[in-house]
């Protein structure tokens, strides 16, 4: 008989002294036995949070099962250890419970506070008594989707014939569409340089786990469904990925049960190798092009030596541009890798992951920001350092005052004299052209060209105020502008 072990809030297994099919009641009968098995609910949700088994409206992951045997047309006599029931096929997660409160069906577990608490035991097979020809027990869903088949048997003591009945319970549903990809590195999680002389391994297996919307492993694909590539950053020079006959800075692999493996070899430089793992939600296939990418960045540190020097952070200054997507892997050396990173004071729009990747689209005012970054190594040694992040490109039209609440004064003009002034816009992707538009009235004689140039010969004196709008892709900024014509 199998048992399931869980920790704390999860159910912990207890060993039964008697398992298997029931022995039948005392006495002999020439009438045949028949058995039925029914479930109160034939479909349960996936128990992702591993909630405990229970009875009632607040126990959506548990269902009652009712087993009954008859001798001819009447219930079989009562007795002990009459029915044997087990999870026969379909799911390796999920368990059977008595939930009758009897002490022999409870187990003690650590309550996390220095004491113990009793909870119902979880089993893959159980034995039930016969009460008026039947009994009941419970099935509790686990964290895996699929169909569990429950089988119960009873033995006729007269002819020793075994009768059985089964019921199928569907747990959750898998969508089969990738929702996330997670990369993990083989222990110890870091690399030595290819030329290191300290016996550090210079090759490590990277595991890519692909799960669907219900956090279930995606089905085995017919073609490669994960693309792993090395970004040109840090210690990328000389590093390469290996997967069968593939070798280089990018490989494509297939997952089995949602898991795929690729080998990463280091180059001669120490620092950080930044990996990009991508799967395609559209069709779970990257070999035919990636139409709906799901991506994760992963940093693997590379070292010339380990614990030969004190832990330190090497980065000092980083420059970012407002409105442009940004990613950067921080670098530490010494100590005992792997490292865990944290930071305070990051400019708005930027975040730091635990593996040291600063990413996001900055939206902070232009200037220098003093950020405190902390790295903690495997030996729980923390080191902090002040890191300067320079934010360039104000969220405004160049040449205008930083106070967006007042009009931007452009150079003055004179009636009868040629005038020319070209507006500029420094944020966003420079490869995307800026579209300039205007609301209001320019000084008579002046026009706004497609490249942002206001030019012509003014014919009328006065102060003219209007609104200029600069649009670059999804970025759009408007400013009130004034030109004084003397």
- pLDDT tens for 384-404 read 999 999 987 655 565 666 555
Same domain, 266 and 337: no
Domain range enclosing 479: 408-485
Q: Kindly give the pairing relationship between strand 408-409 and strand 475-485.
A: parallel
**164 with 37, same domain?**
yes
Q: Please indicate, yes or no, if residue 25 is contained in any of the structural domains.
A: no
Contact between 152 and 127 under an 8 Å Cβ cutoff? The reply is no
The reported pLDDT for the residue numbered 282 is: 96
Burial classification of residue 47, based on how many CB atoms lie within 10 Å of its CB (0-12 exposed, 13-18 middle, 19 or more buried): buried
> Do 43 and 87 fall within a single domain?
yes
Among residues 101, 152, 117, the alpha carbon closest in space to that of 8 is found at: 117
- Give the pLDDT confidence score for residue 457 in this predicted structure: 94
For position 175, what pLDDT does the model report?
83
pLDDT of residue 451: 87
Do 50 and 167 share a domain, yes or no? yes
Q: Is residue 386 domain-shared with residue 424, that is, in the same domain?
A: no
Residue 7: per-residue pLDDT: 32
**What DSSP line would sit under 160-175, residue for residue?**
--EEEEEEEEEE----
**Same domain for 88 and 202:** no
Please tell me the predicted confidence (pLDDT) of residue 349: 87
Q: What is the pLDDT of residue 12?
A: 32
Q: What is the pTM of this model?
A: 0.64
Residue closest to 164 by CA, chosen among 2, 31, 40, 37? 37
**Segments of 309-461 assigned E as strands:** 312-313, 317-321, 326-329, 332-333, 340-344, 350-352, 357-360, 367-376, 382-392, 408-409, 419-422, 435-440, 446-448, 453-456
Looking at 329, 362, 392, which one is the last position of a domain? 392
Task: Identify whether residues 157 and 221 lie together within a single domain.
Answer: no
**Do the domain assignments include residue 10?**
no
| Shared domain check, 156 and 53 | yes
Domain check: are 97 and 194 in the same one?
Answer: no
Nearest-CA neighbor of 241 among 258, 213, 262, 214? Answer: 262
pLDDT at 298: 96
Q: How many domains does the chain have?
A: 4
Distance CA 486, CA 484 (A): 6
Provide the pLDDT for residue 24: 45
The CATH number covering residue 275 comes to 2.60.40.10
Q: Do 358 and 440 share a domain, yes or no?
A: no
Helix, strand, coil abundance in the chain, percent, nearest 5: 0, 50, 50
Confidence at residue 127, expressed as pLDDT on a 0 to 100 scale: 97
Looking at 282, 303, 324, the residue that finishes a domain is 303
Does residue 8 sit within a domain?
no
Q: In Å, how far are 307, 308, 342 from 302, measured between CA atoms?
A: 13, 14, 20
Q: 37 with 83, same domain? A: yes
Query: With a cut of 70, which residues of the chain have pLDDT below it?
Result: 1-29, 393-405, 474
In a domain, 276, yes or no: yes
């Amino acid at each position: 008989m199998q048992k399931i072990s869980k920790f704390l809030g999860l159910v912990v297994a207890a060993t039964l002294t008697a398992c298997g099919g029931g022995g039948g009641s005392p006495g002999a009968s020439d009438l045949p036995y028949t058995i039925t098995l029914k479930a109160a609910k034939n479909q349960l949700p996936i128990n992702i949070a591993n909630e405990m088994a229970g009875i009632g409206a607040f126990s959506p992951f548990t269902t009652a099962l009712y087993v009954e045997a008859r001798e001819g047309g009447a219930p079989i006599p009562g007795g002990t250890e009459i029915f044997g029931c087990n999870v026969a096929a379909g799911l390796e997660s999920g368990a059977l419970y008595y939930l009758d409160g009897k002490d022999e069906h409870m187990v003690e577990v650590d309550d996390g506070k220095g004491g113990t608490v009793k909870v119902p035991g979880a089993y893959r097979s159980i034995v039930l008594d016969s009460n008026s020809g039947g009994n009941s027990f419970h099935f509790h869903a686990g964290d895996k989707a699929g169909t569990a088949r429950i089988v119960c048997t009873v033995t006729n003591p007269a002819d020793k014939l075994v009768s059985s009945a089964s019921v199928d319970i569907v747990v959750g549903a898998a969508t089969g569409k990738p929702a996330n990809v997670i990369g993990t590195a083989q222990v110890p999680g870091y690399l030595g340089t290819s030329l290191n002389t300290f016996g550090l391994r210079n090759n490590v297996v990277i595991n890519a786990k692909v799960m669907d919307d219900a956090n279930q492993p995606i089905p085995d694909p017919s073609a490669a469904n994960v693309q792993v590539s090395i970004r040109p950053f840090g210690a990328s020079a000389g590093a390469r990925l290996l997967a069968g006959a593939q070798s280089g800075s990018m490989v494509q692999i297939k997952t089995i049960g949602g898991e795929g493996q690729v080998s990463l070899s280091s180059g001669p430089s120490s620092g950080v190798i930044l990996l990009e793992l991508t799967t395609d939600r559209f069709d779970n296939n990257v070999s035919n092009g990636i139409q709906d990418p799901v991506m994760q960045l992963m940093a693997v540190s590379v070292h010339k030596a380990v614990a030969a020097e004190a832990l330190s952070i090497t980065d000092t200054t980083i420059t970012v541009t407002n409105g442009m997507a940004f990613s950067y892997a921080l670098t530490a050396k010494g100590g005992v890798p792997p490292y865990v990173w944290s930071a305070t004071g990051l400019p708005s729009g930027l975040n730091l992951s635990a593996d040291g990747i600063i990413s996001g689209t900055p939206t902070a005012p232009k200037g220098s920001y003093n950020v405190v970054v902390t790295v903690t190594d495997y030996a729980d040694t923390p080191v902090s350092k002040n890191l300067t992040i320079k934010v360039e490109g104000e969220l405004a039209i160049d040449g205008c005052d930083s106070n967006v609440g007042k009009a931007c004064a452009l150079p003055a003009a004179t009636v009868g004299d040629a005038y020319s002034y070209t507006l500029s816009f420094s944020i966003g992707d420079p490869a995307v052209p800026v579209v300039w538009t205007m609301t209001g009235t320019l000084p008579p004689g002046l026009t706004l060209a497609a490249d942002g140039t206001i030019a012509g010969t003014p014919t009328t004196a006065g102060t003219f105020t209007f609104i200029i709008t600069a649009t670059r892709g999804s970025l759009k900024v408007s400013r009130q502008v004034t030109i004084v014509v003397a």
